[in-house]
Amino acid sequence: AFLASFKIWKTATVGGNLCMSLPAGPMISLTTALDGLCTIWKASGGEQKLPVAEFVTGNHRNRLTPGDLLRQIDIPTAALKRRTAFRQISLAPVGRSAALLIGSLEADDALTLTVTAATVRPIQLLFRKAPDASTLRAALMQQITDDLYHADIHGAPIWRKHMTLRLAEEIRAELMGATRP
Ligand SMILES: Cc1cc2nc3c(=O)[nH]c(=O)nc-3n(C[C@H](O)[C@H](O)[C@H](O)COP(=O)(O)OP(=O)(O)OC[C@H]3O[C@@H](n4cnc5c(N)ncnc54)[C@H](O)[C@@H]3O)c2cc1C
CA of 17 to the centre of ligand 1 (A): 4
Question: Which of 6, 9, 17, 68 maximizes ligand 1 atoms within 8 Å of its Cβ, making it the mutation to test the pocket?
Answer: 17
**Which three-class secondary structure string do you get for 4-22?**
CCHHHHHCCCHHHHHHHCC
The stretches in the chain having pLDDT less than 70 are 3-4, 178-181
Atom of ligand 1 lying closest to residue 19 CA: 34
Task: Count CB-CB contacts under 10 A for residue 57.
Answer: 14
> Within 13 A of 23's CA, how many CA atoms are on the CB side?
28
Residue 4, pLDDT score: 66
Residue 5, pLDDT score: 75
Measuring from each residue's beta carbon to the nearest atom of ligand 1, which residues come in under 6 Å? Answer: 2-3, 5, 7-8, 12-13, 15-17, 19-20, 22, 24-25, 64, 69-70, 96
Give me the domains of the chain, ranges plus CATH numbers.
6-76 (3.30.465.10), 78-179 (3.30.390.50)
Question: Which of 20, 68, 100, 119 maximizes ligand 1 atoms within 8 Å of its Cβ, making it the mutation to test the pocket?
Answer: 20
Strands (E), 75-159: 83-89, 99-105, 111-116, 123-127
